[in-house]
Structure 1
Amino acid sequence: MEGFLFFAFLVFVVITLRAMLRLCSEWERKVVLRLGRFAGVRGPGIFILIPYLETTPATVDMRTVTSNVTAEQTLTRDNVPVNVDTVIYWRVVDPKLAVLEVSDYTAAVLGVSQTALRDIIGRSDLSQVLSDRAGLDAQMTKTLDEQTEPWGVKVLSVQMRDIKIPDMLQDAMSRVAQADREGEARMVLGQSELTIAQRFADAGKIYDANPMALHLRGMNMLYEVMKSGGTSTVIVPSNAVQSMSFGGVSGLTALAKEAERSVGEHQ
């Protein structure tokens, strides 16, 4: 009989010790209730729990959580339906609030995230949604952080990963962008032509003030033409020859001979 009692007592001690000693991982925290009231947060490592008086109703993961939130067919401020896929990075910073203030903090975070995403899209134009993702991400991060703070949750960042617009609108925007690029190209071409015309006008003024420079330029052009060897006959306007002095004509003859010699050497 005594042996049986001792064995029963030993079993009771083992069960009690197992009930008292609890283990918590490095990234976990356990909320402890004593007779139904909050008694503290335990972890990480081994901690003691008073059997039958204390319970651990929830284990909170303190690591960063990644959640996907999607807003489908949400109207922008200019009434354009868009589908937005967003990634939210958040973590629990106060296990007590996360367990005592909300029944399911994960579902609560996802719920307010989707509401905030739709609200921000509804207050923004399509152009802003497409071009200012960083600004909208920062605005949504601030809004969610303020809303989840009473639950012991910290929203680290929000990133809009994908934005889809209707195909017809996408084609129209593509045509508008192409028209804008063509307009810019025409403006650049027109500016280039204006610059070239101005350079020609400046050159004309210089040649008008110095006829000899014009003659030298003409002789150089003739030399280049004859040097190329592409033709054996070069037609020079009579007024150009008449405007040249004897020295100019002699120079032209010399240029022709030099060109013939250069062509002969290349051949």
Structure 2
Amino acid sequence: MRNRNGRREDRAGAQQNPATKNNGPKGKKTSRNGVYLFSLTIFLIGLAAVLAAFWGNLSVPAIIVGIVVGFVLASSVRIAPQWERVVVLRLGKFNRIAGPGLYFLIPIVEHAAAHVDQRIITTPFTAEEALTADLVPLDIDAVLFWLVWNPKDACVEVEDYSSAIWWAAQTALRDAIGRINLAEVATRREQLDNEIKEILDAKTRTWGITVVSVEIRDIAIPKELQDAMSKEAQAERERNARLLLAEIEKDISEMFVDAAAVYDQNDKAMQLRTMNLIYESVKEKGGLVIAPSAFGEAFNNIKGFGGE
């Protein structure tokens, strides 16, 4: 999108949340309905137990007590999916990593600060109008594959690790592009992927995050430069073709010189060459061929054809 001055605004602007940005296909995601259903069941069990205890003298205070007990039980007894880890704080300090499966919390004293997904996460990111070393603006789309291997550091060392790694990836991409020329961008794509991965690994290692890979999807070159690059490539191909043709002509001329030297030193070689030319002419046209008198003399000078 362009502003009033005609300049393109960065997609990572304040009006767009990079953590939720996704240009890829919308696939089927795993569900946490089982976790919510388990909490609801624990809540209902606690509520039902209190109501059963006060069944003979059921009142509003008894219902309130049942709701409180059910809420406390649902907050204390929880489950986490196989791919999830829970960061538990006790009185504001890190205590442990819980999950997967069943885990317990002490009401009020402990709480789940974060639920960390430890599967590989795919994050698209872009660098619009990233300047190369020769000051050419490029629009680049890439994909980042990463995972959280240390839930504690991911929650304690950085406020929002999803947004942090998105911004870090975009910055690393711009830095890598700024160190090479336009002509090197397409030919060094794999090297760029590895370079960005190394930069991100060094930056996110203290966050408990590992970058699996970085893959550049598309590089958009300005239209005004596409024609110039196309003409340059066409001129380069024409130059190579002319050089190849010149080398071939040089080789042929050298072979002609060598053949002439052989014919000059050996008359029979010249006569055999003459006979070969007559044979090829007869083979192509068929029938009798009217040949110059020099051809006849070539036969007469060879033994078996009137020669000595």
Bin of the TM-score, shorter chain as denominator length = 0.7 to 0.9
Match 1:32 to one of 88, 108, 111? 88
TM-score (norm 1): 0.83
Q: Is 1:103 equivalent to 2:152 in the alignment?
A: no
Q: CA RMSD in A?
A: 2.7
Letter in 2 for 1:215: Q
Larger RCO (alpha carbons 8 Å, 6+ apart)? 1
Residues 245 and 4 of structure 1, relative CA distance in 2, 3 Å threshold:
closer
Return 5+ residue gaps in structure 2 as ranges: 1-51
- More displaced, 59-68 or 195-204? 195-204
Q: Choose between structure 1 and 2: higher helix proportion.
A: 1
Q: Is 1:251 equivalent to 2:305 in the alignment?
A: yes
Match 1:162 to one of 201, 213, 218? 218
Per-residue deviation, 1:25: 0.6
Letter in 1 for 2:148: V
TM-score (norm 2): 0.73
Return 5+ residue gaps in structure 1 as ranges: 253-267
Q: Is 1:200 equivalent to 2:256 in the alignment?
A: yes
Q: Is 1:4 equivalent to 2:51 in the alignment?
A: no
| 1-structure distance, mates of 2:286, 2:300 | 28
Per-residue deviation, 1:239: 4.7
Residues 210 and 221 of structure 1, relative CA distance in 2, 3 Å threshold:
same
Q: Is 1:218 equivalent to 2:274 in the alignment?
A: yes
* 1:70 paired residue number: 126
* 2:236 paired residue number: 180
Larger Rg: 1
Per-residue deviation, 1:20: 2.3
Residues 37 and 246 of structure 1, relative CA distance in 2, 3 Å threshold:
closer
| 1-structure distance, mates of 2:206, 2:295 | 93
Per-residue deviation, 1:231: 6.4
Give the number of aligned pairs. Answer: 249
Identical residues among aligned pairs (%): 43
| 2-structure distance, mates of 1:92, 1:176 | 46
| 1-structure distance, mates of 2:300, 2:177 | 83
Residues 44 and 207 of structure 1, relative CA distance in 2, 3 Å threshold:
same
